[in-house]
Structure 1
């Protein structure tokens, strides 16, 4: 903990003074363009991966980068999604899974979660991914896990589309959805290309324009993606 405190003191002493103009602007308002949903895993740092400044992204982090489907008793994730889309007006949503995900490992290996009832209940929001994964054969346990990470990103993209604020924004052509998988060891990201049938994950470095669902008006005008209307 002392390292954390010393880090703050260094920030206060060295970093903050040099960035005081930025923090002064942020003191009274925020205008993030992206809602970034990712795992709580300590190895995944959204701002580091994307080289973004404070105020650039609205971030949700939880075990398994999960977005429960919208229901009669919305929780904290649902409230955050609603606020990001309906109030802040984010233009893009990223759901980002990652390699060696503990939540997906628990599902993939059928781990006994009897002593972790909260975790067990939470991971049921990934049941669709679990079912899809189980319907396919996998050469190795590692291959099964890697596929489940991707299946889960697709499942959470489907879940988030059940949220009224997201459905409205998609229908109005003012929102794009992105599905990413971050490889910790390689520092690479694969992104879901929703224009293919079936959708495929491709290298984001080689295909920087790829989207899972592209509906925003300024992007829909591009002929190569015009058919992808969500």
Structure 2
């Protein structure tokens, strides 16, 4: 806790004083560039990763960057998404998975979350991810590759869930919103995006298309 308090003092003394004008403009409202949906994992810092300033990202964090389909759970996730699209008019939504994801490991090994009933119940919103991996990639036995593939497939599944939200579907139909699927490898700093033309995740700098197609699954390995 002492480290957090010291960090606040340092922020007020050094960071805030240097960008005082920026922070003062924030009282006028927010106009974020995108809604950034990622995992709650403490190893991910969306603003640092994207080098954005306060007010530029609207961030939603859930275990496993899970987005419950509309109507299945009208809680904070649905409200955040609706507000970002309908009120803040974001033009882009990114769902960003990451390497070594504990939630995805829990999908592959359900017994690991048996003593965490809330976690176990929440992971049901990624049941399609589990089925895709179990039924289509049974031959893939390397644990690290299997986990990474699960992370990638889950990003695509959650993009499909995102499309079920009425505000999102309407904005896409008007051509006012684009969806993007990313995977971040925090141990290397690399970010991969799903490229529908190539039908797999590629380094972000090599992507030929700025828009993800959540209806497509990864090719068999």
One fold, TM greater than 0.5?
A: yes
Helix, strand or coil at the partner of 2:58: strand
Partners of 2:208 and 2:96 lie apart in 1 by 15
> Match for residue 147 of structure 2?
145
> Match for residue 28 of structure 1?
28
Partners of 1:83 and 1:12 lie apart in 2 by 30
- Residues 78-117 of structure 1 mapped to structure 2, 5 A cutoff: 78-117=78-117
Gaps of 5+ in 2: 215-221
Aligned residues between the structures: 212
Partners of 2:123 and 2:163 lie apart in 1 by 19
- Give how far 1:73 is off: 4.8
> Match for residue 169 of structure 2?
167
> Match for residue 56 of structure 1?
56
Kept in 1: contact 2:197–2:209 (CA 8 A): no
Distance 1:190-1:35 versus aligned 2 partners, 3 A rule = same
Normalization by structure 2: what TM-score?
Answer: 0.92
- Correspondent of 1:157 among 130, 135, 159: 159
Kept in 2: contact 1:204–1:210 (CA 8 A): no
**1:82-117: CA deviation from partner (whole Å, max 9, x where unpaired):** 000000000000000000000001111333423101
**Pair 1:41 & 2:41 matched:** yes
- Runs of 4 or more off by more than 3 Å in structure 1? none
- Give how far 1:141 is off: 1.6
Higher mean C-alpha displacement, 166-175 vs 108-117 = 108-117
**Which structure is higher in RCO with an 8 Å CA cutoff and minimum separation 6?**
2
Kept in 1: contact 2:128–2:157 (CA 8 A): yes
- Give how far 1:185 is off: 1.0
Gaps of 5+ in 1: 215-230
How big is the alpha-carbon RMSD for the aligned residues of Structure 1 and Structure 2? 1.5
Higher fraction of helix: 2
Distance 1:66-1:72 versus aligned 2 partners, 3 A rule = closer
- Give how far 1:208 is off: 7.2
Kept in 2: contact 1:191–1:211 (CA 8 A): no
Kept in 2: contact 1:195–1:212 (CA 8 A): no
Partners of 2:72 and 2:97 lie apart in 1 by 27
**1:15-55: CA deviation from partner (whole Å, max 9, x where unpaired):** 11111111111013000020000001111000010000000
